[in-house]
Amino acid sequence: MQRPIKFIISAGIALVLFYFVRESFLSDDNYLIPLKKEREEKDLSFRSRTNSPFEEADRRMFTNLVYYEPNLNYRVKVKLEDIEPKDTVHMPMTNGSTEAYLRYSLANFELNGEPQRLTLYKKVKEEEEKLFVPFTDKTNGFDTYGGGRYLDVPFKEGAKTATLDFNRAYSPFCAYNPDYVCPVPPKENRLTVAVEAGEKNYDKVHPVVE
């Protein structure tokens, strides 16, 4: 009888430690504070005359963007599968034109218990060390922009892994002003689940203040 009781106690302690570490990670400088700062800085840029995607009248009305609460279940470390050769594709844009991107690598992972697959792209002649992931999911047209959202993924040449942080998923400028031209997420990047993380719809008529 002693061994099962010790096992249960050990398991209970491990579970408590897991939740303690998880909640601490969400509330400390390593994650939550930088994420909050990024969002505040984006709001400031949207209020400015020089960086805002809004027309002047909408810019004056703008308060803040709206997001899902941060959730570590939507921060996924993935193994990257190289695409060789890295062929150039001409991604459709919202105005009917195209823009050149490299199909750079593939990521297979699980989200909400279901297998998912995304293609990570790199803009041709892009100098920054990042990959571009345009995607759609089951929230589009409801809680999030109908045309899909984007992820920018930090990446160093030769890396075998990357982190897809959907808490940093954002809407294209087309979501705020139809005069902008934006990449259309390809069919291969349609996720089969609702990604309840990152940026939500912005309602300029009835803005939500968080």
Query: For the residues 83-106, what does the mean pLDDT come to?
Result: 96
pLDDT at 26: 54
Give the predicted TM-score (pTM) of the model: 0.84
Band (14; pLDDT cuts 50, 70, 90): very low
Q: Could you give the number of structural domains in the chain? A: 1
Kindly state whether residue 30 falls inside one of the protein's structural domains.
no
What is the rounded distance in angstroms from the CA atom of residue 77 to the CA atom of residue 144? Answer: 23
Kindly state whether residue 38 falls inside one of the protein's structural domains.
no
pLDDT at 205: 55
Kindly state whether residue 76 falls inside one of the protein's structural domains.
yes
Query: For the residues 181-193, what does the mean pLDDT come to?
Result: 97
Rg over alpha carbons for the chain, rounded to the nearest Å, is: 20
User: Which amino acid would we find at residue 26?
Assistant: L
What is the rounded distance in angstroms from the CA atom of residue 201 to the CA atom of residue 198? Answer: 10
Kindly state whether residue 63 falls inside one of the protein's structural domains.
no
Kindly state whether residue 24 falls inside one of the protein's structural domains.
no
Kindly state whether residue 36 falls inside one of the protein's structural domains.
no
Nearest to 154 by CA among 165, 146, 143: 165
Is 128's pLDDT higher than 90?
no
Kindly state whether residue 106 falls inside one of the protein's structural domains.
yes
CA separation, residue 118 to residues 108, 121, 173 (Å)? 7, 10, 22
Is 28's pLDDT higher than 60?
no
Question: How many angstroms separate the first and last alpha carbons of the chain?
Answer: 53
Question: Rounded to an integer, what is the distance from CA 193 to the centroid of its chain?
Answer: 14
Q: What is the pLDDT of residues 166-179, one digit of tens each?
A: 999 999 999 999 99
Kindly state whether residue 6 falls inside one of the protein's structural domains.
no
Average pLDDT, rounded, for the chain: 88
Parent domain of 162: 68-201
Q: What is the pLDDT of residues 36-88, one digit of tens each?
A: 999 999 999 999 999 999 999 999 999 999 999 999 999 999 999 999 999 99
Band (158; pLDDT cuts 50, 70, 90): confident
pLDDT at 207: 53
Query: Is cis: bond before 70, omega within 30 of 0?
Result: no
